[in-house]
Structure 1
């Protein structure tokens, strides 16, 4: 699913498996997980397994993926990437720095946010925009969770480039039509509930990135996936 949101020069790998065989982790990664509970270890290991498959897609040898501040994955030199995991879906997306400046992906269950979270992660203007859509009935999309996932992707693209924390309330999201090829926009046989595009106007800015980050979202089989990508030449060309 993630691969449908990103261009061909991004190597993606995903799985719906919740566990991977013993021995999947490198010794350095095992050391990070030595005291972790089973769920945390499984999330970590399955995401790293996806990362190694994505590395292979770029012609790279498999290496350990450790993490820095706030869990930021530490990639080989010259590589940018992002990881995500939620119940029933894990994914990795990697690209070369010469092709991609910033990259963020996220996956979430297609379900309402827990009570009280919506107000913590959305601006009043965002709640007003998604409010009518969220009240359409039992078959409606869970726009609060889609928005939350989109903001997660924005943060994952923003932080490695700027080194600055970005609060949920420092990005103002709007949803629109998906930008893509005619083939991507055409009806498909896969069980796709919905898909589209979003724009995140940043209230905290940095000259290294545009003031608006653009991304795409998709829902398949009960999982929301979102992705944000910025090209190195974003000042003179399209940044997605």
Structure 2
């Protein structure tokens, strides 16, 4: 499903359960050695998806270890992202992207009080103007997760929920305008991202893929 909102030059793989053939490299095993079962299953299947996606690019299976702030460490020249939620795991990778961000969430309202903590007042007002059978609050959270995943490999620093203003188009796209100074990317200041969103089969998902231009 995630491939429906990714460009053709991004490879992806997804799973709706935790297949028994999903295994970890010893280095990855060490990361989750003391993790609870749920965390271990998510971690293992997400890495399984990532290696499948890398295989689509003709790349061999390698350990994908969490780096700074938990971001996956990809092979040289690869941009990618991982997501998981109840009943879904996915990975997206590309040799042509500068950065990639993906997120999946259950298509349910955010828990009480969470929206105020992850959004701007202007965003909350804009959500009230949107129609349709979409939990826009959860979609906003997902979009901000994708924004952060796309931002971090370029900036190598934290981005708060309140430091990007996300606007949705009901047709299935969104824009994120950065409210803080971004890094120079290919010689120009990074000012925001364009993304796509999808609601299907009880899930909502968002994706950002910024191509290299040089």
Determine if the TM-score, normalized by the shorter chain, exceeds 0.5. Answer: yes
1:176 pairs with 148, 169, 175, which one?
A: 169
TM-score for the superposition, normalised by structure 2? 0.94
From 142, 145, 161, give the equivalent of 1:149: 142
Which residue among 202, 205, 209 is the counterpart of 2:178?
202
Relative to structure 1, is the Cα distance of residues 89 and 164 closer, same or farther in structure 2, using a 3 angstrom cutoff? same
Q: Give me the whole-angstrom Cα distance separating, in 2, the residues matched to 1:160 and 1:123.
A: 24
Which of 181, 184, 194 is the equivalent residue of 1:214?
A: 194
Separation (CA, whole Å) in 2 of partners of 1:80 and 1:232: 10
In 1: Cα distance, 2:200 partner to 2:133 partner: 14
Asked if residue 128 in structure 1 is aligned to residue 121 in structure 2, the reply is: no
* Cα pair distance change 1:2/1:23, threshold 3 Å: closer
Is 1:89 matched up with 2:82? no
Q: Match of 1:181?
A: none
Whole-angstrom CA distance in 2 between matches of 1:6 and 1:23? 24
Q: Does 2:60 match 1:61? A: yes
Q: Which residue of 1 aligns with 2:30?
A: 31
Q: TM-score, normalised by structure 1?
A: 0.84
Alpha-carbon distance between aligned partners in 2 of 1:153 and 1:23, rounded to the nearest angstrom: 25
Residue 185 of structure 1 corresponds to which residue in structure 2? none
Q: How does 1:3-42 map to 2 (within 5 A)?
A: 3-17=3-17, 19-21=18-20, 24-42=23-41
RMSD between aligned residues: 1.5
1:69 to partner: Cα distance: 1.8
Q: CA deviation at 1:49?
A: 0.6
Runs of 4+ in 1 over 6 A off after TM superposition: none
Instruction: Name the SS for the 1:34 alignment partner.
Output: coil
> Is 1:117 equivalent to 2:114 in the alignment?
yes
**In 1, are the aligned partners of 2:103 and 2:207 still within 8 Å (CA)?**
yes
Distance in 1, Cα, partners of 2:22 & 2:31: 14
Paired with 2:24 and 2:133, the residues of 1 have a C-alpha distance of 40
**Cα distance between partner residues in 1 of 2:84 and 2:65:** 16
Q: Compared with structure 1, are the counterparts of its residues 22 and 54 closer, same or farther at alpha carbon in structure 2 (3 Å cutoff)?
A: closer
Task: Specify every segment of 5 or more residues in structure 1 that has no aligned partner in the other structure, as ranges.
Answer: 179-195, 235-240
SS of the residue corresponding to residue 73 of structure 1 reads coil
Shift in Å at residue 23 of structure 1?
6.4
Offset at residue 232 of structure 1 (A)? 1.9
- Once the two structures are superposed, what CA deviation does each residue of 1:68-123 show, in whole Å capped at 9, x if it has no partner? 12210001111110000000111000001xx2101100000000001111000010
Partner of residue 133, structure 2: 140
Match of 2:43 in 1: 44
